[in-house]
Structure formats: C-alpha cells, structure tokens
C-alpha cells in the first residue's frame, strides 16, 4: 500500500463511526425487507404458500449480512473527502493529472497484474457474447506488454450453467424478485459485492469488463498511483445533473467535478478500492432506481452514474483514457484502442453508406441474436465500410470458428 493510500485509509478510519454505519445499514435492511414483504404479500394472495415468505426473508437476511461484512461505507455515512481537488490540471492527451503524468506513461516496475471480471446472466444473448469475449482474452493474455491476469465470468443467475468448464465462472445470487424494479442491470453491483467478498482473487487490480467487449490487443495496467483507469463516456454529465446527484453526493463531499464522466466498465481499479466502492455502488444504484426523478433522468445509464458517484464518495479518482475502447460505427479506426465495444448496431447500404436508425442492406447488430447465437462465417461488410466494423465482424467470425460446439 502506498503512502497516499495509507493516509487515506487512516483518515477514513478516523471519520467513520460504528454507529452511523450500523444505522445506515439498518435503514437499508428495512427498505429491502419492506420490498420483500410487499412481494410476498402478492405471492400469498396468488398461491397461499408461506414458503415464499421464508425464501424472501432468507434473501433479505443474506443481503443485510453481506452489506454489513463487506461495506466500509454506505450511502449516508461519513466518508473521506475525495483526494482530488477541482484545481488539479489535466493532461489533454491522456486525461491524467499532469503532476502524475510526467516521466512517461509506463514505468519499468514489476508487472501489476489485473483480474478481468465480466458480469453476465445465463441468457443466450449474454452467453454467446461471453464466449467470444473469453476467446479473445485468452489470445492476448500473454502478449507483449500485457498485464492481464486471471478471468472470471460472474454469473448472476444464481445457478451453474453448461459453460462452467469453458469459462472460469463464479455463481452469484440475483437480487430478490422485484428489488431491481425491472432494471436487471442492478444485479451487476450486487454480483460484484458477492464476488469480491467470497472469491480468492490473486491479483491486486480488477478490470471490470462486459460480455460485448472484444479485446483487440494486450492490455497493460493503465491505473496509476491510487487512481483508476476508465473510459470517458460523453453522455455521462455530472455537471448537467448536479441538482439530482447532490442527493447522493452532498456538497460536503466536494465539488461535483469529483464525479468522473465514467461508467463501471471498462475500468481498471485497485482490488481494495473496489471492495470499498462496490457496496456503495449497490446502495446508490438501489436508491437512484427508487427515486422517480433520478430514474427518469438517467434511464438505462443509471447504474453507470451510480458507480461514478460511489467512486467519488470513496475518493477514488480516475484517469480518463479516450483510447481505452472504440464503439463502432461511430469510431471508424481501431488504431491504438484496446477494446471494441459493439453496443451499437452497424447498418450499411451495399455501397458502404451508414444507415443508422434504419435497417441496412448489410448489418451487424448484437440484438439480432438475442435468442440464438450468430452463425459461423458472418458475411463481411461491403466495400467502403469503416475498418472498425470490418475488424469487429472478422474477430467474431474467428472466435465462432474456433470455439467448440458453437451454436449448441
């Protein structure tokens, strides 16, 4: 642990009080129990069976226990002030505080391995993406400059599937029914809380990735000196939504600019830092989803904002790497990027013209394969389509051609 990290930890211990922690956790438990009882009441009316009440009571108890033993700070307790200041200047090229960027990006210190973790459900849609992702992880793990360590698919379906032997997998329990309010992504922070608490993770750093990421080159550890490394999402705008975010990041925690314009993925962060962030990430996510104003404002990116807030609450700043990943079709060249994120559909005419928002004569869209994996040997894009899209399809084709029992 660095001197800065030791000082931060000492300050955190001074500020944190046992009573505040217990009160906040108790309030969270009451909220969870209330949701569970409401759900059980509806089940009783339909089924007349007390088994469901016992099941939900156990689930709530499990969540409460895990929050207590894993949370270093919850939503309302005293937290260390962010170590960053709004006055810190930023290198415009690598988006890193200038005083930490001198002397080059890489040092010749021993390798700092990170563990890659991908959360997924057991759906066909998530599963085929996870298999492709893991194929390319293995291809680049031992490449030049790689600091990629182990890999885990965190499966939050609550039960093993038939791909446990193909992909290293940790089985996490989903949230109790109804608690996600129809927003299944809320299972992600809860899954990370369980994994970080229960798994034996050898590496000191974590890369949080997603099933629809394709690694295109060996990834070094981009984090530095207690800072995480994250991709800058243009649509995460803390300043624009300051009035809403102050519900979760009060003014005494620092300027709103301490909330970075990031999501939880891709992010490389210290394992010990993530152990502190994850319970707050879960609590903030649940609180945001419960609040109608916040839910309406953030929509499908709510859980991304929740991670950014949780990171700021614990004083973990992030280096913003614009070259961390590329998102076709909007970015057209792979260049020096490390990851292709195929979140958007790619639609083109046979002349290579983009028809975004309209189904093209040629297309690749992951949503076309929500209940069946894509076939092997997808047709390549027509001439004129950007390199990023061509590379994406070629890499999907290579993976599906070499993964055993594809389509089964």
Task: Please tell me whether residues 338 and 258 are part of one structural domain.
Answer: no
> Shortest CA distance to 316 belongs to which of 282, 283, 276, 265?
276
Q: CA angle, corner 174, sides to 179 and 279, nearest 5?
A: 75
Task: Please tell me whether residues 388 and 272 are part of one structural domain.
Answer: no
Percentage of the chain beyond pLDDT 90 is: 70
16, burial (CB in 10 Å: exposed 0-12, middle 13-18, buried 19+): middle
Q: Is the dihedral of CA 352, 356, 357, 359 positive or negative?
A: positive
Tell me how far apart the alpha carbons of residues 330 and 36 are, in angstroms, rounded to a whole number.
43
> What is the per-residue DSSP string for 110-125?
PP--EEEEEEE-SSHH
CATH number reported for the structural domain that contains residue 250 in this entry:
3.90.550.10
| CB 245, CB 309: distance < 8 Å | yes
Task: Please tell me whether residues 229 and 271 are part of one structural domain.
Answer: yes
Q: Which two tokens stand for residue 374?
A: 């894509």
In this predicted model, what pLDDT tens digit does every residue of 4-58 receive, in sequence order?
A: 444 444 444 443 333 334 334 433 443 444 444 343 434 434 444 444 444 444 4
In this predicted model, what pLDDT tens digit does every residue of 319-362 receive, in sequence order?
A: 999 999 999 999 999 999 999 999 999 999 999 999 988 999 99
Task: Please tell me whether residues 143 and 179 are part of one structural domain.
Answer: yes
- Domain of residue 340 covers 326-402
Tell me how far apart the alpha carbons of residues 241 and 11 are, in angstroms, rounded to a whole number.
29
Question: Does residue 313 sit in helix, strand or coil?
Answer: helix
Task: Please tell me whether residues 29 and 162 are part of one structural domain.
Answer: no
Task: Please tell me whether residues 343 and 238 are part of one structural domain.
Answer: no
Domain end point (choices 259, 293, 323): 323
Task: Please tell me whether residues 222 and 210 are part of one structural domain.
Answer: yes
Q: Which two tokens stand for residue 102?
A: 């001198």
pTM given for the model? 0.77
pLDDT of residue 95: 55
> Shortest CA distance to 81 belongs to which of 16, 1, 3?
16
297, burial (CB in 10 Å: exposed 0-12, middle 13-18, buried 19+): middle
Task: Please tell me whether residues 151 and 267 are part of one structural domain.
Answer: yes
pLDDT of residue 108: 56
Quote the number of domains for the chain. 3
Cα 241 from chain centroid?
21
């Amino acid at each position: 642990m660095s001197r800065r990290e030791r000082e931060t930890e000492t300050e955190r211990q001074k500020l944190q009080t046992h009573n505040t922690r217990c009160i906040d956790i108790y309030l969270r438990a009451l909220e969870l129990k209330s949701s569970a009882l409401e759900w059980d009441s509806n089940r009783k009316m339909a089924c007349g069976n007390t088994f469901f009440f016992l099941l939900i009571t156990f689930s709530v108890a499990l969540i409460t226990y895990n929050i207590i033993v894993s949370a270093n700070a919850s939503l309302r307790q005293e937290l260390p002030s962010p170590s960053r200041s709004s006055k810190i200047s930023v290198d415009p090229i690598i988006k890193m505080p200038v005083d930490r960027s001198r002397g080059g990006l890489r040092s010749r210190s021993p390798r700092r391995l990170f563990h890659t973790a991908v959360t997924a459900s057991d759906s066909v849609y998530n599963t085929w993406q996870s298999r492709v992702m893991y194929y390319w992880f293995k291809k680049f793990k031992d490449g030049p400059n790689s600091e990629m360590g182990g890999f885990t698919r965190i499966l939050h379906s609550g039960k093993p599937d038939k791909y446990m032997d193909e992909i290293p997998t940790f089985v996490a329990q989903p949230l109790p029914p109804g608690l996600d309010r129809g927003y299944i992504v809320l299972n992600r922070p809860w899954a990370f809380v369980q994994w970080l608490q229960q798994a034996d993770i050898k590496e000191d750093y974590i890369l949080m990735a997603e099933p629809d990421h394709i690694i295109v080159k060996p990834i070094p550890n981009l984090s530095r000196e207690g800072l995480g490394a994250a991709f800058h999402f243009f649509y995460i705008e803390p300043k624009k939504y300051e009035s809403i975010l102050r519900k979760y990041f009060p003014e005494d925690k620092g300027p709103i600019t301490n909330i970075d314009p990031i999501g939880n993925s891709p992010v490389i962060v210290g394992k010990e830092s993530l152990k502190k962030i994850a319970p707050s990430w879960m609590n903030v996510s649940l609180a945001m989803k419960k609040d109608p104003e916040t839910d309406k404002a953030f929509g499908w990116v709510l859980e991304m904002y929740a991670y950014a807030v949780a990171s700021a609450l614990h004083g973990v700043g992030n280096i913003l790497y614009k070259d961390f990943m590329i998102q076709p079709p909007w970015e057209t060249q792979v260049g020096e990027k490390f990851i292709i994120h195929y979140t958007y559909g790619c639609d083109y005419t046979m002349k290579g013209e983009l028809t975004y928002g309209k189904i093209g004569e040629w297309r690749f869209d992951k949503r076309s394969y929500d209940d069946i994996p894509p076939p092997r040997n997808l047709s390549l894009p027509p001439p004129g389509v950007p390199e990023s899209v061509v590379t994406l399809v070629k890499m999907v084709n290579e993976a599906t051609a070499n993964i055993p029992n594809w389509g089964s």
